[in-house]
Amino acid sequence: MFSWFKEISPTERRTFWACFGGWALDALDVQMFSLVIPAMIAEWAISKTEAGLVSGATLVASALGGWIAGALADRFGRVRTLQLTVAFFSVFTFACAFSQNFSQFLVLKTLQGFGFGGEWAAGAVLMAESIRAQHRGKAMGTVQSAWAVGWAAAVLLYTAMFSLLPGPMAWRAMFALGLLPALLVIYVRRGVPEPIVPADNSTTRSSGKTNVRSGDAAAIPFFAIFSPRVLRMTLTGALLGVGAHGGYYALMTWLPTYLKTERHLSVLGTGGYLAVIIFAFFCGCVASAQLLDRIGRRGTILLFSIACVATVLVYLFAPLTNGAMLVVGFPLGFFAAGIPASMGALFNELYPRGMRGTGVGFCYNFGRVVSAAFPVMVGHLAKTTTLGFAIGTDAAIAYAIVALAVLMLPETRGRALADTLPADDEHPSPAQVAHARR
């Protein structure tokens, strides 16, 4: 399953681990909030809608950060932008620990979102341009599994802090440790070069000999992705991002609260249920990574989106016992992983070099703008119904949007990353597909 990792160069491996570490630490910082919502509600007497507003504002900021960071990566380079965004979200995660009221926390958490949205965009393009085409799907899917690693670290930290400290101190201690990702900047600065991307890179790999700036455009290309030839891809990719993020954040933002308040699980019990889902998320990323280079990008996303709808409905609407929920939690996390693990490879292959970072940053992160409404809608709907019903309804709708959007995008498996738009906008050439399968 991981034999491809032995075939890549040392520079490719360093790039992989830099992006893996970035996304794991990104997840650690982001997932902490969903775990500490009950403690913050108790300390500041805020409503569920206000708690959902924090997630919504963070997601809007992350979308803007992703679009801007993607454009900066096109102009100033992938590695430099990655360093900047990691440092940015680390500092503001740390600052959240010292907020004195809900308003201060909302501002600081929003600024944190700006940084982590940008970090994904810069890292995704760096990965896509550094890994050879025949392993691009496997590498991009596998690096997404880092989210599960960071998520697991957040749950372990949550369990430890809330077992040792009172609630008001525990959540602050968790955010204070969010400064640790800034150490990754040192590794990136010393070990990861800018990728070299020739026009035909079906067998491209990174080289540590020469640093070539990824962005050669005369100006930051914010709006190039809306040119006529790529407008349809941009709009459809953004719709795919809406569904993918909407389902994920509706489900994962509120799941710890649902388990604690409606299923009445203790801190350790909540951690046990989340452990199953997180392990399943890791497995789902690895599975989708293999499928991306076997059945293609579209087939993989469609398969996982349909499975997500079915699993969410069973998990939150069926009269399951606590034991049955533990069992169903595995497919819930497994299928929820496949969509985000697939989007990096697909979006990178839709755009040429000069606008690739901008396109990837916009499509992936625009979904966060609109999906910001999903956690808020869950909190609002939960006023008149159960929290489980609210989560399930929003998540199922979101994953149905994913299935619709992916059917409107071209299959890009085997497509070489190019400096110009491909002549055939719908399918890679037979030669490219044959090469990618070898």
- CA separation for the pair 395, 424 (Å, rounded): 35
Q: Which residues contact 223 (CB under 8 A, 6 or more apart)?
A: none
125-139 tens-digit pLDDT: 888 888 888 888 888
300-329 tens-digit pLDDT: 999 999 998 888 888 777 777 777 777 777
9-38 tens-digit pLDDT: 888 888 898 888 888 887 887 788 878 888
**3-state SS, residue 36:** helix
215: pLDDT confidence band, cut at 50, 70 and 90? Answer: very low
- CA separation for the pair 295, 378 (Å, rounded): 34
- CA separation for the pair 124, 360 (Å, rounded): 8
- CA separation for the pair 140, 278 (Å, rounded): 18
The model's pTM: 0.74
- CA separation for the pair 220, 74 (Å, rounded): 7
- CA separation for the pair 129, 82 (Å, rounded): 14
Q: Which phi and psi angles does 265 have, rounded to 5°?
A: -95, 145
User: At 127, which amino acid appears?
Assistant: M
Which pLDDT belongs to residue 321?
76
* For the chain, domain boundaries: 9-189+224-437
Write out the CATH class of domain 9-189+224-437: mainly alpha
